[in-house]
Amino acid sequence: MKTFRWSIPLALFIILLAFLWVGLGRDPREVPSPLIGKPAPAFRLAKLHAPGETLSNADLKGKVWLLNVWASWCVSCRVEHPLLVELAKSNIVPVYGLDYKDDPEAGRGWLTKNGDPYTASIVDRDGRVGIDYGVYGVPESFLIDKSGVIRYKQIGPITPEALQEKILPLVRELQR
């Protein structure tokens, strides 16, 4: 009974400590998306490099693809951009760009300067498609499977760790 008496507050304290510890390590800006496991919201938008042509998510049914939300005004997009260029060169998974709330002219210029990793980029001038995808902080990336379901969302720049440990293994699994 004696040991039991102090072990309860101690256990409660340890539980509290565990919660606080986990809380410290989490980024409050990363809000889990309710879209994971759900079909990617439908869009049909003009292509950045061919304004006369459109691209729809339905056109990409049957393949695994990465949707990267970017903009020429987005500073942290520069951080992940070399990684995307590398990824595009490896031909593992096609990357499609969503030029979010951007001037198409500026967007094209930015890609010329920094390299264009995108199989195609589409223009979301007023950010409506961004809202459908729950975008709140550019860059964001969505991994979409063959049946058009969102399987993973990266909020903020893709880090080398996230690419190696999460995205690429998942791509391999989904491509099977």
Partner 1 sequence: MTRLFAAVALALIAALALAGKMDPPAQTGAQLDARLKKLETELRCLVCQNQTLADSNADLADDLRREVRALAVAGKSDDEIRSYLVARYGDFVLYDPPVKPLTWLLWFGPFTLLIGGAAVWWMVLQRRSKMTPKSEPTAEAQSRGRALLDEEND
Which residues form the interface with partner 1 (CB under 8 A)? 28-29, 31-35, 101, 126-128, 130-134, 136-137
Is the C-alpha dihedral spanning 83, 63, 123, 32 positive or negative? negative
Q: Which is nearer to partner 1, 9 or 52 (CB)?
A: 9
Cα 37 to its chain centre, rounded Å, is 14
d(CA 79, CA 156): 10
Minimum CB distance to partner 1, residue 87 (Å): 27
Task: State which H helix or E strand residue 149 sits in.
Answer: none
**Residue 175 Cβ vs partner 1, minimum distance, rounded to whole Å:** 28
Angle at 86 (CA atoms; ends 81, 89), nearest 5 degrees:
130
Shortest Cβ distance from residue 176 to partner 1 (Å)?
30
Nearer to partner 1 among residue 77 and residue 93 (C-beta) = 77
Residues 58, 51: Cα–Cα separation, whole Å: 19
Smallest gap from Cβ 74 to partner 1, in A, equals 12
Nearer to partner 1, 67 or 93 (CB): 67
| Comparison of 28 and 52: residue with beta carbon closer to partner 1 | 28
**Which stretch of DSSP H or E encloses residue 69?**
strand 65-70
